[in-house]
Chain A
Amino acid sequence: MGIAALAAATTLRAQTSGGRVLGARAAIGTVAIKAWNPAGSIRFVAWDKDSVVVRGTAGRNLRFLLAGDSAGIKVGPEGHWSDGQAEPSNIVVYIPRHATVSAKTVSANIIGEGTSGWFYTVSGSIRLSGASTSVEAESMTGSLDINVSTPWVKARTGSGHLLLRGTPQDADVSTVGGTLSIATSSVLRGQFASVTGDIHYAPPDGPAPTAILEFANHRGAVDLLLPSNASAALTLSSIAGPIQNGFARVRPAAETARSMRINLGRGEAQLTARTFKGTIRLRTP
């Protein structure tokens, strides 16, 4: 198995460019990867080999660590950065397709292609794409771009921007002050929330027929951009904010000063939007 790992590394060296091979390990298909990188970038690429290979460059005065066995592997630079300013390391980690990642950075950006697991950064950005079994992405201030095909995704950021696209089925995403944009029609169960950031829901094909989606915001707006042929039953309510209905030809089923129920098309998807004082806008592109 060790020979297989070295062979994979050699093949990779021949096939790709940029960054030397820092290490390689044989691994089972469901290997657990624990990775960290304080600064720079860390990129995970899923492949169909039974090994973990790491390429890239470790920061100055840092040495690279690759340790563990075929079921569990640790990856990351080692060194001394007690002053909080680590030299950037830029690494690419090739992992088996069914591996589970647990990645943590301070300011390093995280990129994942076809990878599953938990991705955390304090101030870096996270960009995930491809097919995953489940994804959990969190940042304190960084921006998140989640473009995955997965049954389940959970994503959180504070002041960063969060973009959800791809084909997730079950989504639980929120920001504190950053904007939250949902540009996918595939979500069947969705919870979307912010406190002061605006929420933009713009499914290209309208919401899925059996979708149940909830939007909650305190002071930020909830902007529902639905195609004219959307099929949805909407319940909109705001304690102190305005509700704007851009579907002029559709009469609400019920309406008060602070709430509105409106059915579009056959009223299949269930959408609920609540704000305290944020504006709720229902409109067509």
Chain B
Amino acid sequence: MLVDETLPADRREHVAEHLRACAACADDVARLAAVAARLREAPPAAPAPGDLWPSIRKRIDDTKVVAIDATEAAPVSRITWRHRVGVAVVAAGVVLTVLVLRPSHSVPVEEVPSSSDTASLRMVADSVRSYEEEARVLLNRLEIQRAMLRPDAMAAIDADLRTIDGAIEELKRAIADDPNNPALRRLLAASFRQKVELLKRAGSAS
């Protein structure tokens, strides 16, 4: 919204203040702005050949239940370069969101588990993904709150986070060696749950 200038005025200063303090978000906005700028500079696409539409319309008519009025004029493409820029910006935003939210470290590709554990493994894998995503959001929030927390509280939070992250890394390495072990995945889900709970507790400390 900041890039396409649709952000409400009363929120711009708040967002700008955050960007001044958060390099990661500032980079994301800069990349998105660059993509939007390049798309604006791109020449508009050439219109489709005029004789293409009748054959397309006939194919649609052949499969439609209600026929289109034969006297209706063939539609002229109303998609302007602005629409193309808008779609591209949205698509770029989706791509950037995926890039930003992707795991910071590689997650091993899950091999096909044995049939008896398939459902169990899938359920646990889903819960791990869900916890991992929630932890990421809470970590970002903690970084914003860091300056408002007492140093001793922050030190305790960081120490506990290191403990839990160490456990998570050990479990991920073990899963990489033994991907079909449901016990490992349950332990991983439990560790992520601990992390999410800790980050929620930390949020109350300010």
Contact = CB atoms under 8 A, between A and B. Distances in A.
Q: Do A and B come from one complex?
A: yes
B29 interface: no
Interface residues of B, number: 28
Contacts of A140: 153, 156-157, 160, 201-202, 205
A152 interface: no
A276 B172 CA distance: 12
A31 B191 CA distance: 37
A218 B157 contact: no
B197 A174 contact: yes
28 contacts: A106-B150, A120-B204, A123-B153, A140-B160, A156-B197, A158-B201, A159-B160, A174-B197, A176-B164, A176-B194, A177-B163, A193-B193, A195-B164, A195-B191, A196-B163, A196-B167, A216-B186, A216-B190, A218-B170, A218-B171, A218-B187, A237-B183, A239-B174, A239-B181, A239-B183, A239-B187, A275-B187, A276-B167
Interface in A229-285: 237, 239, 259, 274-276
A139 B198 CA distance: 10
Interface residues of A, number: 28
B184 interface: yes
Contacts of B201: 120, 138-140, 156, 158
Interface of B: 150, 152-153, 156-157, 159-160, 163-164, 167, 170-171, 174, 181, 183-184, 186-187, 190-191, 193-194, 197-198, 201-202, 204-205
B204 A176 contact: no
A180 to B, nearest CB: 12
Nearest to B184: A239
A200 interface: no
A193 B198 contact: no
B167 A218 contact: yes
Contacts of A275: 187
A219 interface: yes
Of B150, B157, B184, B201, which is in contact with the most chain A CB atoms at under 10 Å from its CB? B201
Interface in A176-203: 176-177, 193, 195-196
